[in-house]
Amino acid sequence: MNRRAFRKGKNGAFLALSLIATLAGLACLAAILWTLISHGLSGMSLRVFTEMTPPPGSEGGLLNALYGSAMMTLLGILIGSPIGVLAGTYLSEYGRDSRLSTVVRFINDVLLSAPSIIIGLFVYEIVVVTLGHFSAIAGALALAVLAIPVTLRTTEDMLNLVPPGMKDASAALGAYPWRTVVSVLYPAARSGIVTGLLLAIARISGETAPLLFTALNNQFWSTNLNAPMANLPVVIFQFALSPYKEWQDLAWAGALIITASILILSISARVVLALMQVERGSGQ
């Protein structure tokens, strides 16, 4: 074989391999979604949304788990995202190049990829051990800790995207930096910050490991934040590994609900961002 043919052949082989790799990745996504839909739909019924989690061997729904997940995710976001947004504001507006900001940025990126089970152990040590019992508030705090790095990162990135001219114009009118941030930068970066919130909700609503030993689980309806609370991921974990058909069906239904909501959230986050870019493009 001459050298030219060899090089062309090698090129073709590697490009074919990269195509196969991409197809394999997409096939995995398709396989997972297909399994979820086919198994999940067969376990889905109105009862899933109207009845409590059943004892072994009988039928029921996921209402308490859905409520618990929504509640703890909401609380987690309410606690975590203001901290993330404020810290992101500091990094972008006050201490952009300071030593502190460099360190915070670095630590935040580490927290962003840190194993969530470690965060669960941390909250267990701080809250559960102190209070002496598992509770929904401990679960919400664990989720809040996970939400902070996501919102911090997007807030900083989005504030950095606001044209400096707007900031200068506000300063020229005599506004203090806080006024500029609140009245000019936040509105300008609004869709970006909303994207961050959506991504944070998507991130924490599927988390299982940190809830295992903070919120634990609860077979019954409970709205008490100071007591263990049912939540979808832990119920899926428990039910999927059980030998009971009814429980497994509910686990699949729950898995479908959780994945569908997260994918919808992630896609809407992208749509919001794309709309923002269109807006900006036409404004210039």
Partner 1 sequence: MAIIDPRHAAKQLVYERIFRTATLSAAVLVLLILGGVAISLLRGAWPALHHFGFAFVTREIWNPVTDEFGALAPIYGTVVTSLIAMLIAVPTGFGVALFLTELCPPLLKRPIGVAVELLAAVPSIIFGIWGLFVLAPVLQRHVQPWLIEHAQPIPGIDKLFMGPPYGIGVLTAGIVLAIMVLPFIAATMRDVFDTVPAMLKESGYGLGATTWEVIWHVVVPYSRVGVVGGIMLGLGRALGETMAVTFVIGNAHRISSSLLAPGTTISSSIANEFTEAVGALYTSSLIALGLLLFIITFTVIALAQAMLRRLEQRVAA
Looking only at residues 144 through 203 of this chain, which bind partner 1 when binding is defined by CB under 8 A? 145, 148-149, 152, 174, 176-179, 181-182, 202-203
111 within 8 A of 149, measured Cβ to Cβ? yes
In the bound state with partner 1, the residue whose beta carbon lies nearer, of 50 and 95, is: 95
Q: Residue count at the site for partner 1 (CB under 8 A)? A: 92
Q: Which listed residue (87, 140, 229, 273) binds partner 1 by CB under 8 A? A: 87
Q: Which listed residue (62, 200, 207, 218) binds partner 1 by CB under 8 A? A: 207
**Contact region with partner 1 (CB under 8 A), list: 55-63, 69-77, 157-165, 208-216:** 208-216
Label residue 260 exposed, middle or buried (CB < 10 Å: 0-12, 13-18, 19+): middle
Residue 244 lies near partner 1 (rule: CB under 8 A): no
* Closest CB 235 distance from partner 1, rounded Å: 10
Q: Please state, in angstroms and rounded to a whole number, the distance separating the CA atoms of residues 46 and 151.
A: 35
Across 202-235, b (16+ Cβ under 10 Å) vs e yields bbbbbbbbbbbbbbbbbbeebeebeebbbbbbbb
Q: Please state, in angstroms and rounded to a whole number, the distance separating the CA atoms of residues 56 and 40.
A: 19
Nearest to 247 by CA among 68, 82, 65: 65
Residue 268 lies near partner 1 (rule: CB under 8 A): no
Q: Hey, which residues between 108 and 137 contact partner 1 (CB under 8 A)?
A: 108-111, 113-119, 121-122, 124-126, 129
Q: Hey, which residues between 55 and 74 contact partner 1 (CB under 8 A)?
A: none
